[in-house]
């Protein structure tokens, strides 16, 4: 498809079609993007404004121990999220991919419905579960504790004592890195499943049978045939989970409490409370750079691309 | 794929062809593994739906403070309908979503037509520019728009929220409509023009009706994204322009209450309906909900 605009009229038509969007995106997307880049070399003014100077001080400041520690935590949380998503998501994708076509569409739909609902609301739902007086702890200190007590009364062996003690007080999940990781895994799991599913669906299962005919055991036929063939999906899914986890704001804010903060929260506080626009710009520009590199790798892979941008891409 | 690996696969394929039949081997262990896989699938879906179900269940819980179940009530929903702040937030959300959807659906459809139909110098960078709002992290986009509005001395309010939402929605609409256009049979347009339809008539009578499901699906997606957006709205909102997600966030920051559960459940329901509608429309387009 696509013809070269031969006539003047074709050029006019093309300009009418793409001109408004082009203008809009140049003004309200590209220009602000360049603005952030420019300001990241500036200096904080006395009253919170921006002094237009050219220095690298904001980028240097990023490497002080405090910022580095937050960046390290962010990196750790994003990586852990990606790995857990992979461990849960890959078999899930394989499960969906090996169902009959009739089931597959329904299962995919069920996977996508929560994904498309409000992220804030879904994170809040986890707050209900994880907080100290939440549902998980209600079960833990309530039903589970009672069960253990009953068992201890019935069968008096010393084994119950540590269990009784453990279930006597609530587990503290809210406000820890684990809470953030749980929230992020929940939020981005479909982003991992979709590309893995796309890769599994295209997998030629006669190759797996062939490998087994050649006396490969199940483990070998997985590591030598299935995994390499679905690798593009794995990489694409990992990037699609890693990037938004790196830039997470709501999840650490709601589930991480005051202690566990990530880069997203640093950016927020630079803009909303510290009013240090230049430093906030530098941090968000670094975040965008990481994102850009990830996206480039993703597009290089090509394969799973169309499968996600159509429906699952964010 | 590395050439050696491809070669190995070819070799396996060839050997398989020679061998022909397959022997039933390790069937018992296979069944065990596949049961494990099904169990994993089941647990996966429970993980996805459990929080949502619990949220909805607790929106009907009569107890205000404890998590424990104290009986069924609709009080929290009733309280929502008389809550003036929530009402105002809903109105703001609808204004923002309707405006940004209308503008971005028109612009996005136009740009999709232009991108699918024409080759022009600079198409590749423009394509990248069109993709960027989709892949950029929310927080980065929020920051750059806030900076832009502050430095250009635009007062933050509904207007700046609408401008920001259009900026990301154009791209999403364009992606959905282009997917539809990729399956478009150009000869239909040529036939119309052979029958002396002018360009405007061809667009109105042939092209638009044919891509309409895609346009509607794109519009619904834009509406959903706009209603749901928190981060970008949070940064570009001013006093008096609180939308529903911002209201929910404000309420959550003050503590967990059953009203939030009720409001959240209603938001969940609304987005699920919108998403299903959008998927049905896209399915009507013959691409299937294969998500692929």
CATH number, position B134 = 1.10.3720.10
CA distance A122 to chain B (A): 7
Q: Is residue B194 part of a domain?
A: yes
Q: Which of A25, A122, A228 sits opposite B129 (nearest CB)?
A: A25
CB–CB contacts below 8 A, A to B: 290
pLDDT bin (cut points 50, 70, 90) of residue A41 is confident
* Closest CA relative to residue A93, chosen from A220, A224, A219, A230: A230
Q: Which of A116, A207, A254 sits opposite B252 (nearest CB)?
A: A254
Contact B48 A186 (CB under 8 A): yes
**Would you give the distance in Å from CA A274 to the centre of its chain?**
27
* Closest CA relative to residue A211, chosen from B30, B21, B9, B26: B9
Q: Please state the domain count of chain B.
A: 1
Outline which parts of chain A fall under CATH 1.10.3720.10: 53-130+174-309
Write out pLDDT tens, residues B72-119. Answer: 877 788 888 888 888 888 899 999 999 999 999 999 999 988 888 888
For helices A227-246 and A65-97, the axis angle rounded to 10 degrees is: 140
Q: Provide CB contacts within 8 A for B77, sequence distance 6+.
A: B59, B262, B266
Q: Which of B45, B147, B291 sits opposite A36 (nearest CB)?
A: B147
CA distance A125 to B56: 9
Q: Which residues of B touch A124 (CB under 8 A)?
A: 55, 248, 252, 260, 264
* Closest CA relative to residue B58, chosen from B273, B192, B257, B279: B257
Q: Is residue B70 part of a domain?
A: no
> What pTM value is reported for the model?
0.81
CA distance A73 to A71: 5
Q: Is residue B8 part of a domain?
A: no
Q: Provide CB contacts within 8 A for B257, sequence distance 6+.
A: B64, B251
CA distance A39 to chain B (A): 9
Q: Which of A36, A250, A277 sits opposite B230 (nearest CB)?
A: A250
Q: Provide CB contacts within 8 A for A230, sequence distance 6+.
A: A90, A196, A199, A200, A203
- Averaged pLDDT in 10-residue chunks for chain B of 292 residues: 58 56 53 85 91 87 72 80 85 93 93 84 84 85 90 86 93 86 77 79 80 85 88 88 89 83 88 80 50 33
CA distance B45 to B41: 6
CB contact, 8 Å: B119 with chain A? yes
What token pair was written down for B218?
A: 């794109």
Q: Is residue B42 part of a domain?
A: no
Give the structural domain span for B145.
Answer: 76-287
Q: Is residue B283 part of a domain?
A: yes
**Would you give the distance in Å from CA B138 to the centre of its chain?**
14
Write out pLDDT tens, residues A292-313. Answer: 887 777 777 654 444 444 343 3
User: Alpha helix locations (H) across A98-217?
Assistant: 101-116, 119-130, 135-138, 145-154, 160-168, 177-201, 205-213
Contact B22 A138 (CB under 8 A): no
Q: For domain A53-130+174-309, say whether CATH 3.20.10.10 is its number.
A: no
Contact A271 B143 (CB under 8 A): yes
């Amino acid at each position: 498809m696509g013809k070269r605009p031969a006539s003047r009229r074709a050029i006019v038509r093309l300009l009418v079609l793409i001109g408004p969007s082009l203008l809009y995106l140049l003004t309200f997307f590209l220009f602000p993007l360049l603005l952030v880049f420019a300001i990241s070399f500036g200096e904080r003014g006395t009253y919170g404004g921006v002094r237009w100077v050219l220095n690298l001080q904001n980028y240097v400041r990023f490497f002080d121990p405090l910022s580095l520690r937050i960046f390290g935590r962010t990196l750790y949380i994003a990586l852990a999220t990606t790995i857990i998503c992979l461990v849960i998501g890959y078999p899930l994708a394989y499960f969906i991919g090996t169902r009959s076509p009739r089931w597959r569409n329904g299962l995919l739909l069920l996977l996508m419905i929560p994904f498309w609902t409000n992220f804030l609301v879904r994170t809040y739902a986890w707050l209900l579960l994880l907080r100290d007086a939440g549902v998980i702890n209600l079960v833990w200190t309530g039903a589970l504790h009672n069960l253990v007590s009953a068992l201890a009364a019935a069968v008096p062996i010393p084994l119950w004592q540590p269990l009784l003690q453990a279930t006597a007080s609530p587990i503290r999940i809210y406000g820890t890195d684990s809470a953030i990781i749980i929230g992020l895994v929940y939020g981005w799991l479909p982003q991992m499943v979709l590309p893995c599913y796309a890769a599994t669906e295209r997998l030629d299962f006669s190759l797996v049978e062939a490998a087994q005919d050649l006396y490969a055991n199940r483990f070998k036929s997985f590591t030598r045939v299935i995994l390499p063939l679905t690798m593009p999906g794995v990489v694409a899914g990992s990037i699609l989970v890693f990037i938004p986890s790196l830039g997470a704001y709501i999840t650490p804010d709601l589930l991480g409490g005051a202690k566990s903060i990530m880069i997203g929260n640093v950016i927020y506080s630079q803009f909303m409370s510290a009013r240090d626009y230049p430093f906030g710009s530098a941090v968000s520009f670094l975040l965008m750079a990481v994102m850009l590199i990830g996206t480039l790798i993703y597009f290089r892979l090509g394969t799973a691309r169309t499968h996600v941008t159509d429906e699952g891409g964010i | 794929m590395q050439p050696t690996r491809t070669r190995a696969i070819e070799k396996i394929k060839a050997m398989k062809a020679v061998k022909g039949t397959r022997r039933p081997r390790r069937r018992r262990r296979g069944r065990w593994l596949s049961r494990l896989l099904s169990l994993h699938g089941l647990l996966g879906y429970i993980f996805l739906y459990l929080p949502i179900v619990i949220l909805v269940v607790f929106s009907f819980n009569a107890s205000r403070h404890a998590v424990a179940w104290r009986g069924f009530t609709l009080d929290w929903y009733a309280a929502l309908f008389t809550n003036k702040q929530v009402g105002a937030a809903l109105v703001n959300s609808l204004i923002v979503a309707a405006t940004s959807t209308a503008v971005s659906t028109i612009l996005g459809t136009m740009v999709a037509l232009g991108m699918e139909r024409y080759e022009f110098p600079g198409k590749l960078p423009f394509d990248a520019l069109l993709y960027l709002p989709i892949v950029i992290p929310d927080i980065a986009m929020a920051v750059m728009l806030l900076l832009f509005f502050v430095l250009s001395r635009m007062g933050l309010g509904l207007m700046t929220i609408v401008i920001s939402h259009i900026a990301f929605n154009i791209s999403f609409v364009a992606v959905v409509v282009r997917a539809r256009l990729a399956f478009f049979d150009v000869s239909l347009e040529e036939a119309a023009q052979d029958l002396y339809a002018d360009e405007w008539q061809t667009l109105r009578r042939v092209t638009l009706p044919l891509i309409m499901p895609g346009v509607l699906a794109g519009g619904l997606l834009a509406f959903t994204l706009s209603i749901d957006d928190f981060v970008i709205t949070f940064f570009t909102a001013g006093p008096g322009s609180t939308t529903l997600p911002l209201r929910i966030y404000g309420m959550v920051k003050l503590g967990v209450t059953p009203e939030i559960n009720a409001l959240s459940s209603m938001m969940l329901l609304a987005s699920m309906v919108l998403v299903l509608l959008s998927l049905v429309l896209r399915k009507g387009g013959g691409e299937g909900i294969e998500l692929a």
